[in-house]
Amino acid sequence: MGLMSDAEDPAVGGDGSSSTGLEGTENTHGEPLIEVDGLRTYFSADSGLLAGLSFEPDRFPPVSLGTDDVKAVDDVSFEIRAGETLGLVGESGCGKSTLGRTILRLIDPTAGTIRFRGDDLAALSGEQLRQKRSEIQMIFQDPQSSLDPRMKVGQIIEEPMRAHDMFDEEGRRTRAKALLEKVGLDPRHYNRHPHAFSGGQRQRINLARALSVDPDFIVCDEPVSSLDVSIQAQVLNTMAELQEEFGLTYLFIAHDLSVIRHISDRVAVMYLGHIVELAEKTELFENPQHPYTKALLESIPVPDPRETGARGVLEGEVPSPVDPPSGCRFRTRCPKLIAPETDAFSVQEWEATRAFMRAVKRRTFEPSSESAIRARFFEEATPQGEAGKIVDEAIRLVATDRDGPDEGDPDGTRTGWDEATDLLLENFAERSICARERPRYEFEAEHGDETHFAACHLHR
């Protein structure tokens, strides 16, 4: 049996039969369907065989709050309205998938509430939770590994219905075939195995399986990231049509902002377990207010980069979720870190000091004489007063780069670079409001009527 190509997909058609429960529902954005408040999902990272290994938090159950826990999702609050698509975007490892799976209770939360139509999913268990699972479903990232290769397509789609005692055998078969047609596949392929389909068609099978129990809410965990660009558009269009027909509500997780822009109504940006910006799609793309969001938007490929001018590049590594930065978690990579209020920096002086601090922390230049270092970073704006003395001492430490032991370091493992880094961070970065307080700001949007949220002290 040969492979089918996505070009052979028939158009999504047919109104479905009322006997299979496929009646459409008007898609309107109404009251919140999902309300997440103070959600936390922590994982143990230092016990038993896990110590020292590359950690994949979704594979292990969460534990109670502790100082050595991986804080995959940390105090997240938002709502998703009935009938809308909320896009969730961020770098790999920021906690997007963990958040989606926690909302569906595939992972148990450590703290917080997840209200679905007034019921707190975080507090449900046993039969109560099992009954709710017919109303909340998930589409996984890999369309191949998420389908059992030993089962036929019809069996795969019918499996959730069988688990929830929906319909008799004939009713499940009829509904499965109707859903195959709804997602753009031929019902005659009911008895084929997943290997006979292309990647895009397998993801349509996943969509049909999620729809089989007539859910209201679907978490889509990067459902098109493994597909070719042309096939991505086909699958996204099918999802949008089905949302309109059945009144579905999506949480759409992706790292590709162009995909998020295509399908979302509102967009939430996530970084290291926190939501850092949330706004309507047009507002967020046209008027981004968080430096991290701006950096993500500037990273989108363009036909000719020479025509766009300078593009921002995020420096440094994402901090460990075991020990995330205090205050704003993005501050260790932020190009807009706010100066300490106790120091009288001019704009130029603070920009030079911040650049020097980042370069010392990451050791991005070769040590040389004090005058050469000062000329490299502070040619036009040397800090004055106490701040200037701290900078001078850091320059001296880097220039001399002491290797021998001292009173506080008998083993001789610390260097001038280390001492200079500690000196600069303690006196400048740690005293910034960005390090002392977690930012939470809402303001009027320029595009649309919705409130724009941005977790950045630049808006204080």
Domain ranges across the chain = 6-46+57-272, 347-431
Question: In this structure, are residues 97 and 91 in contact, taking their beta carbons and an 8 Å threshold?
Answer: no
* pLDDT for position 54: 40
* pLDDT for position 62: 56
Q: Is 347 exposed, middle or buried (0-12, 13-18, 19+ CB in 10 A)?
A: exposed
Ranges in the chain, pLDDT < 70: 1-29, 45-67, 302-313, 380-381, 402-413
| Token pair for 386 | 């106490």
The pTM assigned to this predicted structure is 0.84
CATH superfamily assigned to domain 6-46+57-272: P-loop containing nucleotide triphosphate hydrolases (3.40.50.300)
Amino acid at 56: E
Distance of alpha carbon 314 from alpha carbon 318, whole angstroms: 10
- Give the 3-state secondary structure of 66-80: CCCEEEEEEEEEEEE
Among all chains, which residue has been given the structure tokens 């042309």?
230
* pLDDT for position 326: 94
* pLDDT for position 307: 60
Residue in 7, 23, 20 with CA at minimum distance from that of residue 184: 7
Q: How far is CA 61 from CA 100, 137, 204, 270, 404, in A?
A: 15, 20, 30, 22, 46
Question: In this structure, are residues 193 and 185 in contact, taking their beta carbons and an 8 Å threshold?
Answer: no
Geometric angle at alpha carbon 230, from 226 and 233, rounded to 5°: 85
| Token pair for 270 | 């996530």
* pLDDT for position 46: 56
* pLDDT for position 141: 84
